[in-house]
Structure 1
Amino acid sequence: MLHLPAQPAQLLGKVPRRAWRWIIRLGVVALVLPLLLQWIVAYLVGSDARILPPQLLTAKNLLIVTAHPDDECLFFAPSILGVLDRNKDITGGLLAMSTGNNYGIGDKRRHELIGSCKSLGIKEQRCVAMDHAALQDNPTVWWDTDLIEAIVDEHVKKWQIDAIITFDSGGVSGHINHRAVSAAVSNYASSNPRAPVTFTLTTTALPRKYTFLGDLPLTALPFTWRIIAALSYPTSTADASDGGRALAANTWRRYLMTRDAFAQHPSQYTWDRHLYMVLSRYVWFNDLKRIDRVVDKADN
């Protein structure tokens, strides 16, 4: 006798009720935990020194170093707003290494960048997009890292910068220009004794990038005891061992500020970016890692 395969509904009906209860419980946890963590980090412990190090939160002049206009709001907004919106005494600066002229609209994108900076609390005077012949937006060209270092050092001195945030070696999206910026700034921060403290934005694997808040529990795992401690006894000071990493999460208001910043880049607002501004972890939270300076024996 021919036996037909069981239908999906029949198979589901064979799942024990106890198993269903566990499946539902796990589903609820998977939905609630990221939302709860976002709320805790954004609203309750975001200013604690063990979550956002004093090196960032009490800096006088913060510099964000990117590759192209729109990087600041697509990737760095939780960090920028997490610092500048919490401490109005900090002066923010943005240094984009190109105007994003890959399609011949560099002037337009430079103008858009100024609007984005304003939305993020950065004054026009410190919102700069370079237009150097050797640093043109090109997804196939590795930029001159010595030149980038020189430009960064120039602006550090000019604006009296005491904290920097930039890409890590993965460049978040893997863009070759992003990675060149990271290589240059990382070398500058680790080898120049006069370089300010520098943090890099962590790059994650592609599946983790577009999970809305789903990646936050994994990202927050190294901060677990710090979050618990911050909830128990808040502090504005931290041990040196706590200052090597930072976690910044957008409140709802800061998320809307992030969206407003990207809205200033109409030339980049394609249909997929609408999805990005909801699903990307980088518009909701950032985790940063400090670059440690390599101590030269000559320094001792």
Structure 2
Amino acid sequence: MARKIRDSTIFKACHWFVGTRSRRRALLRVAVVILIIPLVLQWLLAYVVGRDARLLPPELLQAKNVLIVTAHPDDECLFFSPTILGILDRNRAINGGLLVMSTGNNYGLGETRKQELKGSCSALRINPSRCEALDHPSLQDNPKVWWDTELIKSKVKEYVEKWEVDAIITFDEGGVSGHINHRAVSAAVSEYVVGDEKAPPAYKLVTTAVLRKYTFLFDLPLTALSFSWRIITAVFYPSEKASPEVSSKALIANTWHRYQRTRNAFASHDSQYSWDRHLYMILSRYVWFNDLKRIPAKGMAS
């Protein structure tokens, strides 16, 4: 009896929503708006205002050598591709570099994944000569081991000096997926930037809740809320300069062409391709847009 009453209540509620033509029209309008807003925002950020300094700080767009620091081969295209392509495509004078802290050898595929990484770098316009996957005994892919942050710091500093890096991009404290190796990389880079006055400006990729992570473009309006004034002013008053306060964060979206290149980059990681990754390359917000926050440097207000 209780089930019948419950089912009847649900039926009545559904009938109320769609029971009249006016309500159906109202629901249709709401659905159209929900679909259109993310698409318009993506188009606006990718094609119209993407170069504006209030959305893509000069510290990144005007750098000479940008270094992306990750934990495993394929992190660069699963998480960072909108940022990598958004920067390197908009300023072709920039040299991109990728430093991966391990070969991803958790299943004995380290050498294969190192080779696959080169193809991914080429698709992302990173010169293979600046596409490095380390194979240190203390930095092996392991979802249960927190890596030595002092060791990571020394490696990051080594490549910053070697490649004359003037901007760094890495994970935030959540590591996007929560992987312990990702979080160790984030901690190490943050410690390096905070503790070394000579460290270049560094930005971290913002981690979101799992439900938001797999919402295609539908998370973009929520993400863009904190950038709303920047987006509006960028439309009417474009600028290539920004104050330090404005340079504290970034919002970068993929064009359709860059999204296709993201897929091409991940296709290079043949050993990692599986049915769920097919879905990921469509549904994940991280292949469509990135929001970054600057890591406060030594002596810099947070």
Length-normalised TM-score, structure 2: 0.94
Q: CA deviation at 1:60?
A: 0.1
Distance (Å, rounded) in 1 between the aligned partners of 2:288 and 2:15 = 39
Residue in structure 2 matched with residue 147 of structure 1 by the alignment: 151
Matched, 1:54 2:58: yes
Pick one of 192, 195, 202 that aligns with 1:198.
202
* Matching of residues 150-299 of structure 1 within 5 Å: 150-295=154-299
In the alignment, which residue of structure 1 is the partner of 2:16?
A: 14
1:73 to 2:77 alignment: yes
How far, CA to CA, are the matches of 1:137 and 1:12 in structure 2? 50
- Shift, 1:10, TM fit: 6.0
State the SS of the aligned residue for 1:85.
Answer: helix
SS of the residue corresponding to residue 73 of structure 2 reads coil
Structure 2: distance between partners of 1:173 and 1:13: 40
Distance in 1, matches of 2:187 and 2:11, equals 54
Cα RMSD over matched residues? Answer: 1.6
Match of 2:110 in 1: 106
Distance 1:160 1:93 in 2: 10
Q: Distance in 2 between matches of 1:261 and 1:123?
A: 13
CA distance in 2, matches of 1:129, 1:12: 55
The one-letter code matched in structure 2 to 1:74 is: L
Partner amino acid, structure 2, of 1:135: L
Aligned-residue offset at 1:58: 0.5
For this pair of structures, how many residues does the alignment match? Answer: 294
Structure 1 unaligned segments of length 5 or more: list them.
Answer: none
Deviation at 1:48, TM superposition (A): 0.5
| Deviation for aligned residue 1:6 | 3.9
Secondary structure of 2:245's counterpart equals: helix
Identity %, equivalent residues: 62
SS at match of 2:29: helix
Aligned-pair CA distance for 1:293: 1.3
Q: Give the SS at the match of 1:262.
A: helix
The aligned counterpart of 1:86 is: 90
Q: What is aligned with 1:121?
A: 125
Task: Tell me, in whole angstroms, the C-alpha distance in 2 between the residues paired with 1:116 and 1:160.
Answer: 23
Give 1:13 deviation, angstroms: 3.6
- Report the Cα distance in structure 1 between the residues aligned to 2:107 and 2:60, rounded to whole angstroms: 35
CA distance in 1, matches of 2:104, 2:15: 56
- The whole-number CA distance in structure 1 between the counterparts of 2:279 and 2:16 is 38
1:224 is displaced (CA, Å) by: 0.3
CA distance in 2, matches of 1:55, 1:159: 17
